[in-house]
């Protein structure tokens, strides 16, 4: 595939923070997907040929990817030789097809995105490719593939199309994590589901000094923290272009203490932590306006999407 920006070399996958993004979440391909599912491959190809010059509109992952590029620009200014950058891989389920490829390339150029790695799986499982790219995060519209990736130990989440998205920062990447079954394991959530709130609070109080086990997205937070520290070492702690939140239904008592204790035991932290004690997350997310929000609870994800917040479902553990 030809280079759009020949003066900027791509980092090696083992040195980069690799974000694998499905073409269906980077761009709005709802109509094309319907044609493929309802009319078959030949009609799909015919449609792509007829619309080759028409770029796809942005999908739910678009602003997130643009924010990654904004962080990369600032990292390159501080560390011109470093390969510790975000590297986006565009994943598509299609076989290699000239009309489809050209439309994707035209769209990337139209939106001035810096994406040079394409992975066309031809309908096969993406797992082998994700492992080869040392993927730190996989975003897809296909919950089956997301589940498969999580089972293989790859951080992954299902994204959903929004009718209208809230405006987000173009210069600072903002990522919001839920706690249980996202950053942490689902061990405490299992207690809550099985025995209710009182037993959950009792359990957390008894184990408040015992760190939780890690959840599926702990590694992604570690990767973000690693890049944050690169900005800190250049005197940019106060205006770091990466901002992280923990937004959890836990309260600020023993259960919240255990969450913070867990992060501390991992030598990790988020920039901000909000303990909502069971209150709805939607209004707070609407105020934060993150580029991406991860939660294992579908109701929280649905509420966020309805408010125009890019939200991802992490189907992990009992979720």
Q: Which residues contact 144 (CB under 8 A, 6 or more apart)?
A: none
Cβ-in-10-Å burial (0-12, 13-18, 19+) of 33 comes to middle
**Active site annotation includes 178:** yes
Tell me how many degrees the CA angle 292-222-239 measures, rounded to the nearest 5: 65
By C-alpha distance, which of 272, 265, 224 is closest to 232? 224
165 in Cβ contact with 60 (< 8 Å): yes
Torsion over CA: 15, 78, 113, 310 (sign): positive
Pair of tokens at residue 140? 């897809």
Tell me how many degrees the CA angle 259-262-265 measures, rounded to the nearest 5: 155
- Catalytic position from the list 101, 142, 178, 186: 178
Using CA atoms, how far apart are residues 146 and 124, in angstroms rounded to an integer? 14
Cβ-in-10-Å burial (0-12, 13-18, 19+) of 319 comes to middle
The position carrying tokens 């015919």 is: 46
The position carrying tokens 């678009």 is: 62
Tell me how many degrees the CA angle 203-209-210 measures, rounded to the nearest 5: 75
Using CA atoms, how far apart are residues 219 and 223, in angstroms rounded to an integer? 6
Number of CB atoms found within 10 A of residue 71's CB: 22
Residues that are catalytic? 178
């Amino acid at each position: 595939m030809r280079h759009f920006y020949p003066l900027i070399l791509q980092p090696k996958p083992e040195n980069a923070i690799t974000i694998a993004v499905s073409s269906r979440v980077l761009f709005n391909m709802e109509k094309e997907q319907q044609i493929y599912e309802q009319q078959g491959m030949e009609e799909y190809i015919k449609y792509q040929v007829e619309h080759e010059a028409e770029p796809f509109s942005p999908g739910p992952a678009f602003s997130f990817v643009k924010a990654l590029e904004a962080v990369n620009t600032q990292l390159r200014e501080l560390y011109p030789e470093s390969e510790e950058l975000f590297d986006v891989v565009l994943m598509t389920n299609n076989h290699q097809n000239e009309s489809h490829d050209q439309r994707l390339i035209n769209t990337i150029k139209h939106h001035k995105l810096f994406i040079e790695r394409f992975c066309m799986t031809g309908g096969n499982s993406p797992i082998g490719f994700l492992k080869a790219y040392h993927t730190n995060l996989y975003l897809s519209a296909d919950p089956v593939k997301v589940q498969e990736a999580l089972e293989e130990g790859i951080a992954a989440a299902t994204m959903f199309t929004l009718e209208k998205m809230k405006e987000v920062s173009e210069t600072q990447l903002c990522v919001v994590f839920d706690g249980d079954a996202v950053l942490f394991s689902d061990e405490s959530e299992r207690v809550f589901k099985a025995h209710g709130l009182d037993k959950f609070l009792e359990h957390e109080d008894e184990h408040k000094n015992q760190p939780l086990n890690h959840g599926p997205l702990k590694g992604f937070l570690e990767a973000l923290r690693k890049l944050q520290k690169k900005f800190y070492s250049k005197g940019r702690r106060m205006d770091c272009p990466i901002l992280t939140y923990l937004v959890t239904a836990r309260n600020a008592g023993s259960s919240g203490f255990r969450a913070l204790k867990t992060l501390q035991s991992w030598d990790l932290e988020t920039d901000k932590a909000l303990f909502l004690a069971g209150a709805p997350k939607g209004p707070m997310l609407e105020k934060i306006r993150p580029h991406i929000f991860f939660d294992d609870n579908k109701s929280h994800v649905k509420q966020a999407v309805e408010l125009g917040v890019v939200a991802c479902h992490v189907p992990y553990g009992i979720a």
